[in-house]
Amino acid sequence: MALLEVHDIHTYYGNIHALKGVSFAVDSGEIIALIGSNGAGKTTTLRTISGLMEPREGSVVYDGEDISGARADTLVAKGISMVPEGRGVFAKLTVEENLDMGAYTRRDSGVKDDLKGAYELFPRLEERRKQVAGTLSGGEQQMLAIARALMSGPRLLLLDEPSMGLAPVLVDGVFDTVQRIANEGVTILLVEQNAHMALQIADRGYVLQSGEVAISDTAANLQQNATVQKTYLGID
Amino acid sequence: MELLRSQNLRTAVSLGLLSGAFLLFIGAVGMIEAFHDREVVNDVFSLGQLLLVLAPFAAGYIAAERTGRTRADIMSLLADGLLVGLLTALPTVVLLLFNSDEYRGLLFLSLRGIPFVVATIIAWQLQRQGKERQLVIGSWLAIAALVGIVTFSFALIFEIKGDLRTVLVNINRDWVDVVTFDNRNELITGILTFTFATVAAGIVGSVFRILPPIPRRALMYGLAVTLLAGAFGETVRLILQENLDRATMRELFQRDTMRQRPALALLVVSIAVGYLWARFGQEARTGFTQLEAPRKRVVNGVGMLLFAGVLLMLPWLIGRTLSDVAVTIGIFVLMGLGLNIAIGLAGLLDLGYVTNYAVGAYILAVLTSIGPLGRLDGFFTFWMVIPVALLAAMFAGFVFAVPVLRMRGDYLAIATLGFGEIIGKLAISDWLKPLIGGAQGVQAIPKPIFLGTELKNPEQLYYIVLAASLVTLFVSIRLNNSRTGRQWMAIREDEDVATAMGIDTARAKLLAFTLSAATGGVAGAIFAAKVGTVFPNSFTVFISINVLSLIIVGGIASNPGIVVGAVVLIGMPELLREFSDFRFLMYGALLIIMMINRPQGFIPSKLVTHEVRAAVKAKVAPAK
């Protein structure tokens, strides 16, 4: 059974019809990539799933429960965690305080172990645990944002443009990490303009175009798809 | 022109002109004259005269600091000081000449010459740049005409009026007396004395900079202590007379002014103390940090005990007048700590904080008054109403927070500002007049009674404020480190990300507004009991602004900072009462200077220090 099902959602910015009936499904343990050009509705889809925006029509079903229109903060406790676009670390708090903040909804005793786990995943962050997050490099901030999202113990991780604004060398590292997180059993929905990298690690992918799903297929097939190659991978 | 391109010279010139303009300004607004009435040391010099030399001293010092000259080029250092001093004197001297009947004619002549001089200088510059002849001549004519019109109209005004006093009321005989050091009739002697004083101060200031650091700090400290003690003579006297007998007081003070010998003694002692501190202070501090933990705790404990002792004994140490000031400060500390929850912790810029203060004051007034408006006939006592005032203020905070929950930043500030105004208008309205007395307010509020004693003096009320502040301080320290505090911190940093962390931002903001209002209500209730009457005109937007300023000046989100901020911003104007209107000028100047030189406040919180450093870093290295 699918962990997340999106049924025909329509989302508006005021009068602007941003999503015109997007549907897709994410199975437990998968990495799903949403690719598409600027303005195709990738981030809007993610914001709708995470509760920051409300769909006017359609429904989002998570783990058998209709969550469309639920408040964003309540979803974190249900196991959906989001890494916002542009990283969004708390610039004036230290690395460790940022990670603590990620575990805000949790009251169980596993937080300490998870903190250790986060440092194992990102040794770089352990070196800098007392450093103020705003002074980290862009790549380190991205690591911190991902590690912080993991601190809430999510089943579904929503990643919004994790490679944005990073040097090419760092992009590889970020995608490696995403792969490793998936191997630990976290389901991942990834929104990416860098279609090339996203399709390399994803199981399946959806191509969004002007607020609609244009193509859906396995990642391997998408990489071979002529339209995708031409439009998103820059291969003629 | 060539010379002006030298960086060092430009520094000296601009600082000199700046301090000159400063002297001219404080003269024109009447500050020099008003401050002359306040003697720093009996029969030696006044605060007004101190200002005259303090400006060039500071300018000389800063000039030496900026140019970074060392002892090697002492001559240029002296020259800088001389230049600063001369330029400081210049504007005031010009005004002095203007003001005297003898020399005014000379000045009008030069005033008429100014257009031609200015035009010629600019034309000469143009010529040197190789501009065409027609352009040079044309611009000469245009500039001469333009500047001519301006100076001519100035000259005309003065010639018609014949006297500066009609234009600048404060440029009068008393002002002349102060700046000429009482040589009104011998104007040239007076001008020379004045110039000599500023030049000497400028030179001393710039030489002061190159003294070795330890004696420099000692001297600076000694001078600062002595001059401050002299300037705040009245306050010092009030404190001392609580603890010394009359004969000793007469030895030390002539009315509110220090006598010469005690002033000298104070100078010597404070220089010695300053020397010891500059010499051994660093060692003491490193010694302390190297102590083992238990010993450190003992030292800290002794310090805390001493501090607590002073806090408890304060009314006896400072006497009635200053206790009254201390109560006012305490009321603002309460409000500062409360508002800090909204502004410092949750980042919600609330400009309507006066609402809670007013609610607390009116609740106490109406429930306890034994006058015509107190229909409950004194059934409620102060102690019973304090919790009611607290809850009422919290309720008000909650109600006002609901409509503004979705607003952020500037919009929130304006909306809360509106609420503050609404409360003021409600208080004065006819609609609520039967209840809270409209413009007549509520009178006959009894003082609190504690174990049978009526707490009617500020010395006694002080303890109520102290207790309330300590409780609030405790709560806000606990809040700061709690889960709730963390959630506010997250909202302040980034509301969207906070939501992504699973924080219910609406609830957190409501909680912040509600808790923040609580101490405002208590502060209002204490204020009402202290004054005994409540009038609507006590509750203006200036209360909100004052509380906000003390938080910012003290250090946002820093509890000790808020206490210091309240002492400085609320206590200082109270102590400067004799300077009437000028205290607000000084208050404003302090705010500006603080925001330029120390934007993080007196005692910044750790967080804000990061922020300011990050901002400075961003300025230094904009490209990344």
- C-alpha pair distances (Å), B4 with each of B8, B67, B302: 9, 14, 58
B1-10, B327-336, B395-404, B537-546: least confident range: B1-10
pLDDT one-digit tens code per residue, B468-511 = 999 999 998 898 888 888 889 888 888 888 888 888 888 999 99
Co-location of B228 and B335 in the same domain: no
Any domain includes B296: no
Residue B88 sits in the same domain as residue B58: yes
**For residues A51-63, average pLDDT:** 89
Residue B377 in domain: yes
The CA-based angle A7-A1-A205, given to 5 degrees, is 60
Q: Do B502 and A148 touch (CB under 8 A)?
A: no
| Together in a domain, B418 and B472 | yes
B201 and B275 in one domain? Answer: no
Residues B492 and B530 in one domain: yes
Under 8 Å between Cβ of B222 and B271: yes
Interchain proximity A72–B500, CB inside 8 Å? yes
What one-character DSSP code corresponds to residue A193? S
Interface test with A, best of B496, B501, B505 (most A CBs within 10 A): B501
Clarify whether residues B531 and B386 are in a common domain: yes
**pLDDT value at position A173?**
85
**DSSP label of A139:** H
Mutation target for A interface from B405, B494, B497, B605: give the one with most A CBs within 10 A. Answer: B497
Six token digits for residue A178: 């995403």
Residue B403 lies in a domain: yes
Average pLDDT over residues B372-398: 84
Please report, as a single letter, which amino acid is at residue B616.
V
Question: From CA B540, how far away is CA B528, in angstroms rounded?
Answer: 15
Q: How far is B481 from chain A (nearest CA, A)?
A: 12
The whole-model pTM stands at: 0.81
Where in chain A are the domains? 1-79+154-236, 86-153
What distance in Å separates the CA atoms of residue B496 and residue B190, rounded to the nearest whole number? 67
pLDDT, position B610: 60
Residues of B in CB contact (< 8 Å) with A are 483, 486-487, 489-490, 493-494, 496-497, 499-505, 607, 610-611, 614
ipTM score for this prediction: 0.82
- By Cβ distance, the residue of A73, A97, A100 closest to B504 is A73
Average pLDDT value over all residues in chain A: 88
Quick check: B379 pLDDT over 70? yes
**Do B596 and B564 share a structural domain?**
yes
B30 and B170 fall within a common domain: yes
Residue B27 to residue B50: CA distance in whole angstroms: 13
Residue B405 lies in a domain: yes
pLDDT digits (tens, 9 = 90+) for A186-235: 999 999 888 888 888 999 999 998 888 988 889 888 888 888 888 877 77
Which residues touch A209 (CB under 8 Å, ≥6 apart)?
A36, A37, A40
Residue B285 shares a structural domain with residue B201 = no
Among the partner-chain residues B502, B503, B610, the one whose CB lies closest to the CB of A92 is: B610
Task: Say whether B501 and A105 touch across the interface (CB within 8 A).
Answer: yes
- The answer as to whether B435 is a domain residue is yes
Q: How many angstroms separate the CA of residue B348 from the nearest CA in chain A?
A: 17
Please report the pLDDT score of residue B5 as a whole number. 55
Q: What is the DSSP string of B87-136?
A: HHHHHHHHHHHHHSHHHHHHHHHHHHHHHHHHHHHHHHHHHHTT--HHHH
Residues B239 and B128 in one domain: no
Strands (DSSP E) contained in A52-182 are 57-62, 65-66, 80-83, 156-160
**Residue B361 and residue B345: Cα distance in Å, rounded?**
26
What percent of chain B has a predicted confidence (pLDDT) above 70?
93
Residue B623 forms part of a structural domain: no
Tens digits of per-residue pLDDT, B25-42?
888 888 888 888 878 887
- Whether B1 has a pLDDT exceeding 50, the answer reads no
For the domain made up of A1-79+154-236, the CATH class stated in words is: alpha beta
| pLDDT for B371 beyond 80 | no
How far apart are alpha carbons B445 and A224 in whole angstroms?
85
Q: Do B386 and B533 sit in the same domain of this protein?
A: yes
Choose the weakest-confidence range: A46-50, B68-72, B527-531: B68-72
Confidence at residue A157, expressed as pLDDT on a 0 to 100 scale: 93
Subunit contact B487:A77, Cβ cutoff 8 A: no
Model pLDDT, residue A236: 65
Least confident of A128-142, B3-17, B204-218: B3-17
Q: CATH number, domain at B369? A: 1.10.3470
3-state secondary structure B245-291: CHHHHHHHEECCEECHHHHHHHHHHHHHHHHHHHHHHHHHHHHHHHC
What pLDDT is recorded for position A139? Answer: 84
| Residues B144 and B23 reside in one and the same domain | yes
For B492, name the nearest residue in chain A, comparing CA atoms only: A90
Query: In angstroms, what separates the C-alpha of A155 from chain B's closest C-alpha?
Result: 14
Number of separate domains in chain B: 3
Number of H-type helices and E-type strands within chain A: 10, 10
Per the structure, the complete domain to which residue B240 belongs is given by 223-290
